[in-house]
Amino acid sequence: QVRLMESGGGLVQPGGSLRLTCVGSGTIYILNPMGWYRQAPGKERELVAGATSGGNTTYADFVKGRFTISRDNGKNTVALQMNSLTPEDPAIYYCHARTRATDFWGKGPLVTVSS
């Protein structure tokens, strides 16, 4: 069983920055990929960014140039640096990891953008 523990999130003004961090623990083979999804009220969960153990990254179009994903394979961590946050970004941000064809999710910190 894999557990994903997130930290970060909170309230920020438009144009501000936040950093989310996720640490995987438990019985881990290889977490591949690791990444972040988000879900706003009334909307489907959507991919924000993902990173493979080999260093390949993918981003949703709506965050390109603003968010940066990074991971540390040795520590089973993935981070999401979010800059230039807008009123369209508030959501619960879920850490995701896949290992041995099984998906695992964190509980998701809330990100709020408001002046």
Banded pLDDT at 58 (limits 50, 70, 90): very high
Model confidence at 27: pLDDT above 90: no
Q: Which two tokens stand for residue 25?
A: 């623990």
Give me the half-sphere count of Cα atoms (radius 13 Å) on the Cβ side of residue 80.
Answer: 33
Q: What is the DSSP string of 45-101?
A: -EEEEEE-TTS-EEE-GGGTTTEEEEEEGGGTEEEEEE-S--TT--EEEEEEEEETT
Model confidence at 1: pLDDT above 90: no
Banded pLDDT at 77 (limits 50, 70, 90): very high
CB 57 within 8 A of CB 115: no
Model confidence at 23: pLDDT above 90: yes
Say what the pLDDT of residue 12 is.
Answer: 97
